[in-house]
Structure 1
Amino acid sequence: MREKRFAGLTAAGLPPAREDMAAVELMAVRKVYTTGAGEFAALKGVDLTVEQGEFAAVVGKSGSGKSTLINMITGIDRPTGGEVWVAGTPVHTLTENQIAVWRGRTLGVVFQFFQLLPTLTALENVMLPMDFCHVYDKAERPRRALELLEMVGVGQQAGKLPASLSGGQQQRVAIARSLANDPPLLVADEPTGNLDSRTAAAVIELFNELTRAGKTIVMVTHDQDLARQSSRIVTVAEGGIVPDGRTGVRDL
């Protein structure tokens, strides 16, 4: 049942989430990498707020810092300085074990290359996050996975392996999988990069439907036309946020 689905996670000692914060809050975030050529500042004191229910498209040239920005939000990388708060949790303070638990219950991640396990059916791929995090009763998981597949329009493909699905169908399965644990935030990294324009537009419309249903989405994209279909554009340049990135369309 919903109220029991995170009952074994408290052992990780996650701090209680603050309810007075936005979905994503980055405060003076810096990230410096040490290379053979010296230090490189990928992020230079970034401040960013994404409110609950926003669909934010992150755009910028290669090397601008947008991938590092996303890695801060997902906890894949740690800031050199500053604070990263996601869904009211101070991600910058968590241990590696805590981050793994936090990510499983807080984030859904959608990749450019789908990342579906080839030997599992679409239904089994969607069930996998529930199995790993022990989310929902075991008997409830297949029904929930099928409901998610139907919600994204591929319910009839539930019993098929990824290789027998089109690219668009595989991405829809991947989106269903990202929703498996009912996370408040979805992070999509170039989710339309391997799709034709018509299928990409359908995926963006699906994202808009999800935000209307209350999800928050942060999407990295190189496609300016698709970015304009989000509710907000965040432009990253030279390790910082372009000041008028909130209005976005003028920056493209």
Structure 2
Amino acid sequence: MALPPPRPDAAAVELTAVRKVYTTGAGQFAALQGINLQVDRGEFVAVVGKSGSGKSTLINMITGIDRPTAGEVWVAGTPVHTLTENQIAVWRGRTLGVVFQFFQLLPTLTTLENVMLPMDFCQVYDKAARPERALALLELVGVGQQAGKLPANLSGGQQQRVAIARALANDPPLVVADEPTGNLDNRTAVAVIDLFRELTQAGKTIIMVTHDQDLACQSSRIVTVAEGGIRPAATERGGDA
């Protein structure tokens, strides 16, 4: 399914007047109320907020999992809000890498095979070159020696590193991480944040949802979501990234 050509020199993420209204048995609920947000290429942005604040809905807008009721969502120059379901599937595979809290590695595949999976699914890179690329990504995140092991034989921190390598498989410009350190001890969580910082220095854009304010402060910018909107504190900078 052909995608519209991306807008040149666009920001990594641009949300304009984005509203999301859900209809429930109790009536309508506005999860997002006119969100405006820009994330520049190469930024490491932490999204924080209380449960029910709207941060998960915000991320769902950016990843194309859900559609806005009103407003525009542009990611890497593509108007995501205008894409069909088939187009979104193709676009997501090429544009986004997603890192989950619970890793979501397939237990019957080796770590190498898990990283190759997005390449196989989207048919990117020559088939013979995929194992070499997967191994290079595992080495990039520090777990190259674990390439032949099943996920169950890895520590939580190692599994999360594999999940990050998988998110990078198709060389997406944007990586979205949803509570990626939630199941990790503090030392390992800091190591993952350091890895994200290195990736942004290499040109990737990272958007991370986290409940940990200390880790959020290691990002280059903190976006605070509250009651379906973004607080003015979204302009505050994080750490030295």
TM-score range normalised by the length of the shorter chain: over 0.9
Provide, for residues 53-110 of structure 1, a one-character-per-residue CA deviation record: whole Å limited to 9, x for no partner. 0000000000100000000000000000000000000000000000000000000000
| 1:248 to partner: Cα distance | 5.1
| 1:16 aligned partner | 5
Matched, 1:225 2:214: yes
| 1:20 to partner: Cα distance | 2.8
Map residues 56-71 of structure 1 onto 2, 5 A cutoff. Answer: 56-71=45-60
| 1:242 aligned partner | 231
Matched, 1:174 2:166: no
Contact 1:109 1:187 in 2 (8 A): yes
Q: Distance in 2 between matches of 1:238 and 1:245?
A: 14
Amino acid at match of 2:6: A
| 2:176 aligned partner | 187
Contact 1:234 1:248 in 2 (8 A): no
Aligned match for 1:27, one of 8, 16, 25? 16
Contact 1:235 1:248 in 2 (8 A): no
Q: Secondary structure at the match of 2:8?
A: coil
Contact 2:222 2:233 in 1 (8 A): no
| 1:120 aligned partner | 109
| 1:244 to partner: Cα distance | 2.8
Q: Distance in 1 between matches of 2:206 and 2:86?
A: 24
Matched, 1:198 2:190: no
Q: Distance in 2 between matches of 1:21 and 1:213?
A: 18
| 1:38 aligned partner | 27
| 1:21 to partner: Cα distance | 1.5
Q: Distance in 2 between matches of 1:231 and 1:52?
A: 12
Aligned residue-pair number: 238
Map residues 23-172 of structure 1 onto 2, 5 A cutoff. Answer: 23-172=12-161
Contact 2:33 2:228 in 1 (8 A): yes
Q: Secondary structure at the match of 2:233?
A: coil
Contiguous gaps of at least 5 residues in structure 1? 1-11
| 1:8 aligned partner | none
Provide, for residues 22-48 of structure 1, a one-character-per-residue CA deviation record: whole Å limited to 9, x for no partner. 000000000000000000000000000
Amino acid at match of 2:190: A
| RMSD over equivalenced CA pairs, Å | 0.7
Amino acid at match of 1:58: V
Q: Taking structure 1 as the reference length, what is the TM-score of the superposition?
A: 0.94
Contact 1:57 1:220 in 2 (8 A): yes
Runs of 4+ in 1 over 2 A off after TM superposition: none
Q: Secondary structure at the match of 2:160?
A: helix
Amino acid at match of 2:48: V
Contiguous gaps of at least 5 residues in structure 2? none
Q: Taking structure 2 as the reference length, what is the TM-score of the superposition?
A: 0.98
Contact 2:220 2:237 in 1 (8 A): no
Q: Percent same amino acid among aligned pairs?
A: 84
Q: Distance in 2 between matches of 1:130 and 1:20?
A: 26
